[in-house]
Amino acid sequence: MPKPIRKAVFPVAGLGTRFLPATKAVPKEMLPVVDRPLIDYAVAEAAAAGVTHMIFVTAKGKSALQNHLDRHVELEAVLRTKGKTAELERLAAVVPDGVRCSVEIQTAPLGLGHAVWCARRIVGDEPFAVILPDDVVMAGTGCLAQMIARYGATGGNLLAVQDVPPERTDRYGILDVGNDEDWPGGVAEVRGLVEKPAPADAPSTLSIIGRYILQPEIFSVLENGERGAGGEIQLTDAIAALIGRQPVHGYRFEGVRFDCGDRQGWLSANVAFALQRPDLEGIRDKLRRLIESD
């Protein structure tokens, strides 16, 4: 029986250049989807999956995230005085009960693999999850909770995957799974991984999205600091190095994934989540009128 997943790493050191000038002063992970920042969706998903220690790998000078995770005693006092119970409850939900938060600084922008490596001392010698807040998954059961349910049978390393258009393989880590038709329980063994291959060189159209369950041995691979695509230390390359030494599986999760590192994906997420909110029931008619008037 594999060890439980108690810790999750959130790489949030990026500059969010696709969203400039909005991200000049506001970190990308703090961009709102409706009225909650992206990081809230990631934290809520991890907590619902049983994670009790959240590790945020950020960059120097990005204080907005830490301020968001900390309590704002003065604001809480004002809300309490005014009887704003609902607002107080929303603030309390930012960091769920029983959850511990730690912050690590990534001193140089050396890639996702390096960001994960920066969390090694806090993670220690146990399996852990990695969640990229850019990827928001709308699902009845959270993506990470789905993965942990399968992890009990697979052990090793488990990667959430979905198909992408062939012309976009050069934006993702792409899996080679051999027989793509045999996915019992949504899980398939991974034979190889390629980071951002050109469409002509891609072994499939199955891409890793921002959800991983990894073993601590990944840190010894990342320790080598080998550079991959874009001159960065790629997490995909480190996972590929573990194939044959540890189990590596892909998991076709259930739900709709929104790539909120992309402007269209972020806008789509805002619309989709707003449509699910009972307190915003008029939004559907407003959107319909806007579309019809175009």
- 188: pLDDT confidence band, cut at 50, 70 and 90? confident
| Higher pLDDT pick, 46 / 152 | 46
Residue pair 150/185 in contact by the 8 Å Cβ criterion:
yes
Q: What is the pLDDT of residue 290?
A: 87
* Tens-place pLDDT, residues 200-227: 988 888 899 999 999 999 999 998 867 7
* CA 178 to chain centroid: 26
Task: Identify the top-confidence range among 59-68, 166-175, 254-263, 276-285.
Answer: 254-263
Q: Is residue 1 part of a domain?
A: no
Answer whether residue 204 is part of any domain. Answer: yes
Alpha helices (runs of H) in 179-234, residue ranges in sequence order? 218-222
Counting the structural domains of the chain, the total is 1
pLDDT recorded at residue 285: 87
Of 34-38, 176-180, 244-248, the one with minimum mean pLDDT is: 176-180
Contacts of 284 (CB under 8 A, 6+ apart): 275
Say if 212 falls within a structural domain.
yes
Map residue 1 onto helix, strand or coil: coil
Q: What is the pLDDT of residue 252?
A: 92
- Rounded-to-integer distance, Cα 171 and Cα 155, Å: 28
- 220 lies in a domain? yes
pLDDT at 125 over 80: yes
| CATH code of 129's domain | 3.90.550.10
Least confident interval from 77-86, 148-157, 177-186:
177-186
Tell me if 140 sits within 8 A of 273, measured CB to CB: no
Q: Is the pLDDT of residue 180 over 60?
A: no
pLDDT of residue 25: 86
What is the model's pLDDT at position 292?
Answer: 85
Check whether 139 has a pLDDT greater than 60.
yes
In a domain, 2, yes or no: no
Which of 87 and 54 is assigned the larger pLDDT? 54
Residue 181: pLDDT band with limits 50, 70, 90: low
What's the DSSP call for residue 184?
G
Q: What is the DSSP letter of 2?
A: P
Tokens of 213: 């369950």
Give the domain range for residue 18: 7-292
Prediction pTM value: 0.92
Position 77 in a domain: yes
- In angstroms, rounded to a whole number, what is the distance separating the alpha carbons of residues 186 and 184? 5
Does residue 250 lie within any of the structural domains? yes
Which pLDDT band, with edges at 50, 70 and 90, does 293 fall under? confident
The yes-or-no verdict on residue 184 having pLDDT over 80 is: no
Considering the domain boundaries, does residue 25 fall inside one?
Answer: yes
What average pLDDT does the chain have? 90
